[in-house]
Amino acid sequence: MISFNYETEFSLDNESVLEAWISGVIKEEGCELEEVNYIFCDDAYLHKLNVEFLNHDTLTDIISFDYSVGKSIQGDIYISIERVIDNAADFGVMVHEELHRVMVHGILHYCGYKDKSKKEAALMRSKENHYLAQLA
């Protein structure tokens, strides 16, 4: 089950399409969907979580809490819509494109992908692009 929750005025227009897409990503990666909660919020909300749970006093676009066990995917993905909007402008892409990238990025972490090294980050970006093309 995938749920979409809102702690800000933002809301998705196409929840069912995105739910099917994310479910497909998980399946294609050889994993099984248990429960994923997306929580869309603002910078202040996400900053508070970043300080409280990760001891990072910085703004970020996404924080994910992964409760997956093996290939059984479950977790909470918090996304700052303010950061997504700013990042979209910085990267010269549409807001929905950046939002979808961040959404699939969190899921790919749950599926076992890392992005700490250059090689890992390149693979993660390749996977993101692959799945974004499926949504287009």
Residue carrying the six token digits 């939002």: 99
pLDDT, position 69: 93
Query: Binding site residues, as ranges?
Result: 105, 109, 115
State the pairing for strand pair 62-66/72-80. antiparallel
Number of neighbours of residue 4 by Cβ within 10 angstroms: 15
Residues in the chain predicted with pLDDT less than 70, given as ranges, are none
| Phi, psi at 38, each rounded to 5° | -95, 130
Query: Binding site residues for Zn(2+), as ranges?
Result: 105, 109, 115
| Separation between Cα atoms, residue 105 and residue 64, nearest integer Å | 10
Domain that holds residue 93: 2-135
Percent of the chain with pLDDT over 90: 88
pLDDT, position 59: 85
| Separation between Cα atoms, residue 79 and residue 93, nearest integer Å | 17
CATH number (domain holding residue 71): 3.40.390.30
What's the structural domain count of the chain? 1
pLDDT, position 79: 98
